[in-house]
Chain A
């Protein structure tokens, strides 16, 4: 065991893992996180807390994670390279670890010009692969990046993102291999709508044997309407939404129900792909639907340990 996290145990035991995303509020009150925690408790093995998602200042992912821990849920903190240099990353990971956080997702982060404070200066001292290298050294060697020893090393389960829908496509598996080499224990992918392209990517992943070296959790996102689908397709870089999905939502009597149904079918299909060890559900501003999606997809067969018992 590297971290003893619930997510690590679930994956190492060969179970199909479920993670779900919670967006911290633009608020000094943790009320919405507690509400989501109560709704989703027991329906996922761990819960991602986004880090200033879309480059908007929100409650910090680490503080939100502590709120989740108090509610008896296991967090995955996301940490972007946009807002912190290596000093801040290492100090935050030590602090998060001391507070009981075990899972961290290392990501570049959306560029700050997407947010509501476009004039901000970004950091990018490290990129997400270097961030993995730094955290791995902290965990495995008990050292900060410069080589100085830590008194106590942070037990971390290291995560990274993968986007099979970005370009150049042929490089996407190389990038995954680099992340694995840098220290990634698990991967959460970008939202999958183009199943064919994802399967093509997965076959390339398997050809390199990467599926045996890292746990891949396939990202899914329930869509509320065809307008949301169109927005993702046209306005969000690195997203592919096939016309078939858009048509289905457009023609549906109840688009929201159809969105849930599409998501459920995707999970069922993903579950059958060799090398996919779980799903990551990103129900953006729709977190309350996670239990329904998990139930309908038939992946609520296992009691998800709500008590955080770290070894």
Chain B
């Protein structure tokens, strides 16, 4: 899932400065799970903005809505009625969601209410940890199911650097050394032999380094005729 956190309330207020008709838009997907932009958070933010507006004479009219998945057109299209007359949408979805809203409603300013952080997982209640670097060329089969690209501070591929001590990363005693974890995972799996192999320079082309990425599943893409038929149906 995508992990994000809300920008500080003061920043949200600053973003909205100069706007009047505001829609706070949340998402029931990842950002709801990481307690940043689900229905509950949307309610809190919207109410706080109304209060702030009253106290500071901003004359904001704040409406609120939460969609199933803000990253998907089909759900964002449902906002047609709710966005009418609005001059700003404060999106509490991830950056993907905010961009979807902007692309479908080009006449309304979409403001990011969250800082989108990473692809991760809930570790325990209220704790969310980065897990995947989205490098486009997964190596988890070589590393005992632990991603060195994003969980090692240096994205090393051939084992822990000289800063690994007592299972901790050199950058902080609060950060586990991913390569220490990899070592012990492979040890449990009886596959320490994998650590003896040289892993050559990585091909970063499938990563962000190759430019913006796009995946096409040809068998799923509609033909022009199918698109026309579907258009007629809707």
Contact = CB atoms under 8 A, between A and B. Distances in A.
Contacts of A81: 154
B72 to A, nearest CB: 31
B198 to A, nearest CB: 6
Given A113-B171, A177-B196, A181-B198, A237 B156 contact: no
Most buried by A among B161, B177, B196: B161
A238 B183 contact: no
A178 interface: yes
Interface string A161-174: 11101111001001
B198 A182 contact: yes
A145 B201 contact: yes
Contact of A130 (B160, B165, B201): B201
Nearest to B173: A237
Contacts of A177: 196
A108 interface: yes
Give the size category of B's interface with A: 20 to 34
B114 to A, nearest CB: 21
B79 interface: no
A238 B158 contact: no
B159 A174 contact: yes
A141 B110 CA distance: 55
Interface in B120-154: 153-154
B163 interface: yes
Most buried by A among B163, B177, B198: B163
Contact of A171 (B153, B159, B167, B198): B159
A271 interface: no
Interface of B: 153-171, 177, 180, 183-184, 192, 195-196, 198-202, 204
Interface of A: 81-82, 86, 108-111, 113-114, 122, 124-130, 133-134, 145, 161-163, 165-168, 171, 174-175, 177-178, 181-182, 190, 237-238
16 contacts: A108-B162, A114-B171, A125-B204, A127-B155, A130-B201, A134-B201, A166-B164, A167-B160, A168-B183, A174-B159, A174-B192, A175-B160, A181-B198, A190-B162, A237-B168, A238-B163
